[in-house]
Structure 1
Amino acid sequence: MTNSVHVLRPALWLAGRAGWLVLAVLVTGATVARAALPEPIAQALREAGVPPSAASLYVREVGREQPLLAHRATTPMNPASTMKIVTTLVGLDVLGPAYTWQTTFASNGRLQGGVLSGALYVKGSGDPKLTSESLQAIVTALRARGIREINGDLVIDRSRFAKAVHDPAAFDGLPLRPYNVGPDALLFNFKSVGFRFAPLPDGTVRVITDGASPDGLSIVNTLRTTSGTCPQDWRSRMAPNFDDRGNAVTATFAGIYATDCGERDWYISLYDHTGLFAAMFARLWRDAGGTWTGVAREGALPRNARVLHTHISPPLATMVTDINKFSNNVMARQLLLTIDAELSKRPAQAKRAGRSIRDWAKARGFDLPDLVIENGSGLSRIERISAQSLAGMLEYGLTSPFASDFLSSLPLAATDGTLAKRFVNQLAEGNAYLKTGTLTGVKALAGYLLLPDGRRMLFVGIVNHGNAEAAQKALDSAVDWVYLTEAAKLKALTR
């Protein structure tokens, strides 16, 4: 990467912030690490009802040993989604930006006259983004091979990942939420079905699926519109009910829908992994003019099976952008397991990944003694890392061959991803790449601050407290403090 695209010219930047610089000289000016919090940050924490003992901050210029700010920087903290920094950095290093996942379709049955007599095997490799569009292309490719009829089962080989029990309700009691979906070697459509709602002039509400509807899905819709603003609980006011009877799923919406809600989407995890893939395959295969007379089941791909089609995913560099900019949890889980499978050369296990990553860090010349990884997404109550360790990971990311891929994967302040509406008209706007992290009791922000003179600062801020949600302003104040401090120093040098 080059800094010229993202760096403001110092003279213009300083002139535009003249009033702020006076404050910067008064409240900053230190050139050594601070153990105590600067007053603007401490005040913001007080206003949020968060004690300094619940916050961890670490700021250091890339390439320097002495931090600008180090407050409880070696204390292990719950990082929430900033843990994705670790997962995506290690993924880029271990797998490479060009790495792709392959989903193999094969059979050892006889193909004659358009009829495949035998099972169609599907072997997944953990593709984080195998979607309906992907499956449509796969169906088209199989039909182009001359297959019209499949007289056999759809056999799914998910042996790339070791079998593991996943309770989608364990984290927060909301098992239908897509962010609670567990990983799978044949993850499809994030294991979710999208419903689209739109109020109509006659007082009814149109309900359709977002894209093709899985085979066997029925929608019962008696929704009526109501006046008033769109409430936060608009989903529950529709009185949803989902009845899964194996091959048939019925989604019922029998409540009310505010007209002010306009057109909205709701993605729900209704099926198990095999069920969703099989239901969508059945629908798309039938729509393409094919017939299938078997059932879906799990099994191993035979060694003598011949490959009929291989679907290749987008490269990892694209995947990490989705993971970091939009904080996709299930994609991060898929990546962590892929890393473990690659390093261990065995069916992937998340519980082994933490040790694998610590070993990886030592091989790269630094330690992560405080790292605790459960799933690599940050959607966890036990994951831990210190601010200083996370900053070390960030610095490695800027010195690696894949630095541009990693940097561009992070949300850009006031521009895109989870920062699209944050830091607007602030010093960081367009000049900070930062990953956000939010859980109940956790607020975090970590990444890079690009300074007007071309220097780059590592920034990590984590709050673990019951009032963490209110501490976002304090983290943003810490970002402002860095810019103000460095601007004051720059002004002093140019006198």
Structure 2
Amino acid sequence: MSRSKKSMFWMVFLLSMVPLAQSTEYEEVYANPEDELYAEITEVLSHEDLKGAVTGISVRDAQSGSIIYQKNGDTRLRPASSMKLMTGAAALRLLGDDYRFKTEVYADRKPRGGVLTGNLYIKGYGDPALTTDDLDRISEQLKKKGIHRVKGNLVADDTWYDDTRLSLDLPWSDEQEYYGAQISGLTLSPDTDYDAGTVIIQVTPAAQEEKAPNITISPKTSYVKIHNEAKTGKADSKKTIKITRKHGTNQVYITGSIAKNASSSKAWIAVDNPTGYTLDLFKRSLVKSGIKVTGKEVNGKLRTGAIKLATDQSPPLKDIMNPYFKLSNNTISEGLVKEAGRVKGTEGSWEEGLSIIESHYEALGINEADMLMRDGSGVSHVSLITPNTLSSLLYKAQSEPWYQTYLNSLPVAGMSDRSVGGTLRNRMRGTPAEGVIMAKTGSISTVSSLSGYVKGTAGNKYTFSIIINNAIDEDNLKDIEDDIAIILASH
């Protein structure tokens, strides 16, 4: 069949930009450069690795919203981390880009003579950006009040969210991974990427063969117990270091071998119960500030009538969105779902948060029938969305007051600076797509996706979504996405 005849069968639809209260209308669109795009993208889609897979693509004109190319555009597919585009848009709409999380410290009663008699409470409000530096600032606030001793327990209150730590469909094998970290109302990040609920474990070879390698843990904590069963191998020997956390515990085992001339191995390991982890680090911060706690460290609830002594605030959401999108941070994503439920609904749970987000589908230009949202990050293999829905969301976002935050937080193709290029920093370098594609990447087993904007000289040229499902050989999927993105950047 000739290309012109193929085009006769290829019918795409335009979602009209009528007020949302009116019925949705569609019209047939034959927009240039559809024929050229059709031929070039069709050639890419003939790749051997796509046989037996399902590929969905949607490309819209960024100015009009017209669909100029689609393949399986209305087919619901697993989006992987492209789902974060939906969660991020909802969070910015519901909370605002200046929204801040907080952490507060309370006491049962006022200190007297530098001594607090009764419990000292640290209450979390879901801050994914809380670090040890923040805890140190809180401790300094207490020290400036003259406090040097707490004659009572140190109590962690994480009741801002419910006590369900893991999203419904998270695979058990991901529980120890940084991207599978537990969600708590009181959690702590070991870095400014805001990998909340994790510790960083580094393995460095010893000077002599057969000796146990050196292990460091950051931030320093006794909450995680290290079992070093590894050894230092011969120079240039294969590195076989494995770091695992025993299910349901904070017992971390390090096994395997690391060559004595090898570089160190580093891993971010999710802890079990981030609340207790944060509490341990808070006590260490208090001690460092010269404040002694005589009681125990316990989970509990803030007592009615307790006196507020200190407060810490997170950076605004617009700053948190940068590592969220650029580095595809799952923990921030799932926290945003719970925060939406807690702030705009009745409780900080996935069920309530997803329900609140769903109630805003229409305002974001989304048809409820076109998606199934089971989590915020897209790690779920049950979550579904159509490529046309994602390209429509991206189109609609351009008219929102939070759009610049949304756009600027996306990874930029080929930009080597990690804070700019993010997960696209090593992709599409030296091509017409470098610096032009601003998009969210996505990967889970058998799934790959890329959804975002094609930047023009005067505003965006296109919004697009590429979702590949059921791919057994995943080695070339990113290259296939890049080839399509380069075609879009070249038109």
| TM-score normalised by structure 2 residue count | 0.83
> Per the alignment, do residues 443 and 160 of structure 1 end up closer, same or farther by CA in structure 2, a change over 3 Å counting?
same
3-state SS of paired residue (1:163): coil
Whether the aligned pair in 2 keeps the contact of 1:153 and 1:293 (CA below 8 Å) is yes
Task: Name the aligned partner's letter for residue 209 of structure 1.
Answer: I
Q: CA deviation at 1:406?
A: 0.9
Single out whichever of 275-284 and 213-222 deviates more from structure 2. Answer: 213-222
Residue 195 in structure 1 maps to residue 201 in structure 2: yes
Q: CA deviation at 1:439?
A: 0.5
Q: Distance in 2 between matches of 1:243 and 1:78?
A: 27
Trace 1:273-288 onto structure 2 (pairs within 5 A).
273-288=274-289
Whether the aligned pair in 1 keeps the contact of 2:394 and 2:463 (CA below 8 Å) is yes
Trace 1:247-266 onto structure 2 (pairs within 5 A).
251=252, 253=254, 255-259=256-260, 261-266=262-267
Q: CA deviation at 1:365?
A: 5.3
Task: Name the aligned partner's letter for residue 323 of structure 1.
Answer: Y
Where does structure 2 lack aligned partners over 5 or more consecutive residues? 1-29, 190-195, 416-420
Q: Distance in 2 between matches of 1:361 and 1:216?
A: 41
Whether the aligned pair in 1 keeps the contact of 2:241 and 2:255 (CA below 8 Å) is no
Task: Name the aligned partner's letter for residue 228 of structure 1.
Answer: D
1:206 matched to which residue of 2? 214
Residue 228 in structure 1 maps to residue 236 in structure 2: yes
3-state SS of paired residue (1:437): strand
> Per the alignment, do residues 445 and 41 of structure 1 end up closer, same or farther by CA in structure 2, a change over 3 Å counting?
same
RMSD across aligned positions (CA): 2.8
Higher relative contact order (CA 8 A, sep 6+): 1
Residue 478 in structure 1 maps to residue 472 in structure 2: no
Task: Name the aligned partner's letter for residue 422 of structure 1.
Answer: R
Q: Distance in 2 between matches of 1:372 and 1:464?
A: 16
Single out whichever of 61-70 and 305-314 deviates more from structure 2. Answer: 61-70
Q: CA deviation at 1:303?
A: 2.8
Q: Distance in 2 between matches of 1:449 and 1:58?
A: 13
Q: CA deviation at 1:364?
A: 5.1
3-state SS of paired residue (2:70): strand
Q: CA deviation at 1:411?
A: 0.3
> Per the alignment, do residues 242 and 75 of structure 1 end up closer, same or farther by CA in structure 2, a change over 3 Å counting?
closer
3-state SS of paired residue (1:334): helix
Q: CA deviation at 1:175?
A: 2.5
Whether the aligned pair in 1 keeps the contact of 2:436 and 2:489 (CA below 8 Å) is no
Trace 1:418-429 onto structure 2 (pairs within 5 A).
418-429=423-434
Q: Distance in 1 between matches of 2:273 and 2:177?
A: 13
Trace 1:17-56 onto structure 2 (pairs within 5 A).
31-32=31-32, 38-51=38-51, 54-56=54-56
> Per the alignment, do residues 191 and 449 of structure 1 end up closer, same or farther by CA in structure 2, a change over 3 Å counting?
same
> Per the alignment, do residues 335 and 455 of structure 1 end up closer, same or farther by CA in structure 2, a change over 3 Å counting?
closer
> Per the alignment, do residues 349 and 168 of structure 1 end up closer, same or farther by CA in structure 2, a change over 3 Å counting?
closer
Whether the aligned pair in 1 keeps the contact of 2:230 and 2:241 (CA below 8 Å) is no
Q: CA deviation at 1:78?
A: 0.7
3-state SS of paired residue (2:462): strand
> Per the alignment, do residues 169 and 351 of structure 1 end up closer, same or farther by CA in structure 2, a change over 3 Å counting?
closer
Instruction: Deviation per CA, 1:101-139: give whole Å up to 9, x if none.
Output: 011111123411221111112221111121222222222
> Per the alignment, do residues 251 and 173 of structure 1 end up closer, same or farther by CA in structure 2, a change over 3 Å counting?
closer
Trace 1:293-308 onto structure 2 (pairs within 5 A).
293-308=294-309
Single out whichever of 141-150 and 31-40 deviates more from structure 2. Answer: 31-40
Q: Distance in 2 between matches of 1:461 and 1:167?
A: 25
Q: Distance in 2 between matches of 1:122 and 1:46?
A: 57
Task: Name the aligned partner's letter for residue 151 of structure 1.
Answer: K
Task: Name the aligned partner's letter for residue 456 of structure 1.
Answer: K
Instruction: Deviation per CA, 1:254-276: give whole Å up to 9, x if none.
Output: 54113464133212124422321
Where does structure 1 lack aligned partners over 5 or more consecutive residues? 1-29, 487-495
Whether the aligned pair in 2 keeps the contact of 1:194 and 1:210 (CA below 8 Å) is yes
Single out whichever of 186-195 and 266-275 deviates more from structure 2. Answer: 266-275
3-state SS of paired residue (2:405): helix
Trace 1:73-84 onto structure 2 (pairs within 5 A).
73-84=73-84
Single out whichever of 252-261 and 434-443 deviates more from structure 2. Answer: 252-261
Instruction: Deviation per CA, 1:136-175: give whole Å up to 9, x if none.
Output: 2222222222221112122222222123263899515242
Q: CA deviation at 1:283?
A: 2.3
Trace 1:134-145 onto structure 2 (pairs within 5 A).
134-145=134-145
Whether the aligned pair in 2 keeps the contact of 1:108 and 1:306 (CA below 8 Å) is yes
Residue 394 in structure 1 maps to residue 402 in structure 2: no
Q: Which has the higher helix share?
A: 1
Q: Distance in 1 between matches of 2:175 and 2:365?
A: 40
Trace 1:77-476 onto structure 2 (pairs within 5 A).
77-164=77-164, 166=166, 170-189=170-189, 190-203=196-209, 205-214=213-222, 217=225, 220=228, 223-228=231-236, 231=239, 234-236=240-242, 251=252, 253=254, 255-259=256-260, 261-344=262-345, 346-363=346-363, 366-415=366-415, 416-452=421-457, 454-467=459-472, 469=474, 470-476=476-482
